[in-house]
A and B are shown apart, each in its own frame.
Chain A
């Protein structure tokens, strides 16, 4: 669309039409309202987690955090039914293994799909894309039966091995490798005597670092969050942290300060990740959206 008044220029409105894209006070108001709604439940969780049980049911409710967080966390770790410390440790192990392995295998396969020539490449890539449509949870029953056969019930490998690499990860890394790694770089490395894996390790992986970081963050968050499959295959005494808070919800559902201390500690690693990498996560989501 060409129009005599519009110049090619920055995508923000130009010239006399600049006012078109300014946010109005009403827009700010709506956004602030949205922000309050989106932060409030998290804030409320912290308020309750730092209070004592006799005040959380007060009406009007307490507005500010109190000083009992330490006590509540102490009760949390002492609780005989939650297995909270074990849950935290298990979640850390599981999320770390799944993240490292997903990033490694997905970038390896993504590199192969983007930059190496081999027979059946397109068909295989299409298969990868198709697998993204099949939700893993669909197979939870046979998956459980497999674990019984393998004797992996209640063992951590049951929640690690099926998720070592995902179609989403492979596809994402392929898309990124396709545009971020110039062919000349690979040729040069080959001339220098690199094996194919050497090319991947020395040239491709460093170039893929930004996308690998985003994939790692998303994978970590997702794995940390997993609920249904661990609930099916692990038992309450060997939980992930999500199952620990589920244990609490089972037995102590009226002890709000205890439960909320649990949920707060359970999402602390995610919050930490978010505070440090928030911008990258947002960039990753938006980047993915443009490609989708």
Chain B
């Protein structure tokens, strides 16, 4: 760890000329400073958050109760019509299934792989810094760049993946055309980018586990695998929960990767000709900025918000439960 936890040498001038306490405007100013400064210091955050965080969230609800078009200038109160339309909107549910499918394909392997990587990095070894840096290298690329590179790798005719598949004698896969395979391709982009990051987080938590536990277990004859499942994983539970929730929030809002994966189609927000990899966020984006249906797009974004909260809670309960039943 390279962070220096010691306080830096302060540029503390010698306390030679302490001003004597005086009445009048000076002391009043000093008192005002003490009283008001804290609020002044935290206010920028709250101003930004109120204007661009809280207000939009509430305003989304307001917009979702309207038929609202910016280009057309429509603005008509429709009550809960948008919400009832949403419930029966096949396109929305199709996008929801896509989103959850990609989410599962990207979160589960990612976290398992990250756990394994972290366990490997936790050993005593040569060149550990080198390995760690290599693992997080994907993080410092940009999402759009990754999506473009992987889209080429998954190209039906000229992609490396299909070339490799051909080497083992299998038929090439039309990654963009098939629903399942397009999910795999998009999930691969996400996995590639975030596995190393999660591995580092797990590694940090693993290093905080007292080694005595393992030594005792080893003396009792527990195999390494058993030590991993009975000591490492239970001790890592809070960290795993954290990683799962962060992946959930990110995964359910997935946008950039699938949006760029559709290069070559007329409207990339469609997520393929049959919407096979259109995510909820893309559907929302298309409704607003493509179709000028801001009211309905706001409804979709509320649905997504509710879904994120529900999933996070579910994860939380699940991880807790499985931990308790250990």
- Would you call B207 an interface residue if the criterion is a C-beta within 8 Å of the partner chain's C-beta atoms? yes
- Would you call B13 an interface residue if the criterion is a C-beta within 8 Å of the partner chain's C-beta atoms? yes
User: In the assembled complex, how far is the CB of residue B223 from the closest CB belonging to chain A, in whole angstroms?
Assistant: 11
* Cα–Cα, bound, A180→B125 (Å): 31
**In the complex, which residues 247-272 of chain B have their Cβ closer than 8 Å to any Cβ of chain A?**
249, 253, 255-256, 260, 263-264, 268
* Cα–Cα, bound, A282→B133 (Å): 7
Contact for B129 among A31, A228, A279, CB less than 8 A: A279
User: In the assembled complex, how far is the CB of residue A142 from the closest CB belonging to chain B, in whole angstroms?
Assistant: 4
Contact for A284 among B3, B51, B144, B203, CB less than 8 A: B3
Q: Which of B96-104, B208-216, B317-325 contacts A (4 or more CB under 8 A)?
A: B208-216
- Would you call A88 an interface residue if the criterion is a C-beta within 8 Å of the partner chain's C-beta atoms? no
Do A109 and B145 contact each other (CB < 8 Å), given the known contacts A38-B138, A135-B308, A290-B204?
A: no
Residues of B within 8 A of A48 (CB): 152
Chain A: interface size category: 35 or more
Residues of A within 8 A of B105 (CB): none
Q: What is the total of A-B residue contacts with beta carbons within 8 Å?
A: 352
Residues of B in contact (CB 8 Å), total 119
Q: Determine whether the beta carbon of B37 is less than 8 Å from that of A207.
A: no
* Cα–Cα, bound, A281→B203 (Å): 15
Do A137 and B133 contact each other (CB < 8 Å), given the known contacts A142-B60, A290-B204?
A: no
Q: Determine whether the beta carbon of A42 is less than 8 Å from that of B2.
A: no
Q: Determine whether the beta carbon of A20 is less than 8 Å from that of B218.
A: yes
In this complex, the member of A14, A22, A196, A207 whose beta carbon has the largest number of chain B beta carbons within 10 angstroms is A196
- Would you call B168 an interface residue if the criterion is a C-beta within 8 Å of the partner chain's C-beta atoms? no
* Cα–Cα, bound, A207→B9 (Å): 8
1/0 per residue, CB under 8 A from B, across A121-134: the answer is 10010011001011
Residues of A within 8 A of B139 (CB): 221
* Cα–Cα, bound, A101→B124 (Å): 41
**In the complex, which residues 1-34 of chain A have their Cβ closer than 8 Å to any Cβ of chain B?**
1-3, 5-6, 11-14, 17, 20-24, 27-28, 30-31, 34
Q: Determine whether the beta carbon of A35 is less than 8 Å from that of B134.
A: yes
Q: Which of A64-72, A75-83, A159-167 contacts B (4 or more CB under 8 A)?
A: A159-167
- Would you call A94 an interface residue if the criterion is a C-beta within 8 Å of the partner chain's C-beta atoms? no
Q: Determine whether the beta carbon of B200 is less than 8 Å from that of A282.
A: yes
**In the complex, which residues 193-229 of chain B have their Cβ closer than 8 Å to any Cβ of chain A?**
195-197, 200-205, 207-208, 210-216, 218-219
* Cα–Cα, bound, A214→B195 (Å): 20
Q: Determine whether the beta carbon of B216 is less than 8 Å from that of A3.
A: yes
User: In the assembled complex, how far is the CB of residue A189 from the closest CB belonging to chain B, in whole angstroms?
Assistant: 7
Do A31 and B140 contact each other (CB < 8 Å), given the known contacts A112-B42, A232-B285?
A: no
Q: Determine whether the beta carbon of A23 is less than 8 Å from that of B12.
A: no
Q: Determine whether the beta carbon of B124 is less than 8 Å from that of A274.
A: no
- Would you call A96 an interface residue if the criterion is a C-beta within 8 Å of the partner chain's C-beta atoms? no
Contact for A196 among B3, B19, B33, B116, CB less than 8 A: B33
Q: Determine whether the beta carbon of B10 is less than 8 Å from that of A203.
A: yes
User: In the assembled complex, how far is the CB of residue A254 from the closest CB belonging to chain B, in whole angstroms?
Assistant: 8
Q: Determine whether the beta carbon of B297 is less than 8 Å from that of A141.
A: yes
- Would you call B163 an interface residue if the criterion is a C-beta within 8 Å of the partner chain's C-beta atoms? yes
Q: Determine whether the beta carbon of B152 is less than 8 Å from that of A143.
A: no
User: In the assembled complex, how far is the CB of residue B7 from the closest CB belonging to chain A, in whole angstroms?
Assistant: 5
Residues of B within 8 A of A27 (CB): 120, 123, 125
**In the complex, which residues 287-326 of chain B have their Cβ closer than 8 Å to any Cβ of chain A?**
288-289, 294, 297-298, 301, 304-305, 308, 312
- Would you call A74 an interface residue if the criterion is a C-beta within 8 Å of the partner chain's C-beta atoms? no
1/0 per residue, CB under 8 A from B, across A166-183: the answer is 010010000000011110
Contact for B63 among A138, A145, A278, CB less than 8 A: A145
Contact for A141 among B19, B63, B116, CB less than 8 A: B63
* Cα–Cα, bound, A292→B241 (Å): 10
Q: Determine whether the beta carbon of B2 is less than 8 Å from that of A280.
A: yes
Q: Determine whether the beta carbon of B148 is less than 8 Å from that of A259.
A: yes
Q: Determine whether the beta carbon of A143 is less than 8 Å from that of B56.
A: yes
* Cα–Cα, bound, A68→B89 (Å): 50
**A and B contact pairs by CB, cutoff 8 A, 24 listed:** A13-B211, A38-B134, A38-B138, A41-B138, A41-B146, A42-B137, A116-B41, A138-B57, A138-B304, A139-B56, A140-B301, A142-B56, A142-B59, A142-B60, A146-B52, A191-B15, A203-B11, A225-B143, A259-B148, A273-B140, A274-B137, A286-B200, A287-B1, A288-B201
Q: 7 shortest A-B CB distances, which residue pairs?
A: A139-B56, A23-B123, A263-B145, A286-B204, A196-B37, A23-B125, A118-B38
A31-B120, A287-B1 are known contacts; what are 4 more A-B pairs with Cβ within 8 Å? A1-B216, A142-B56, A145-B294, A189-B10
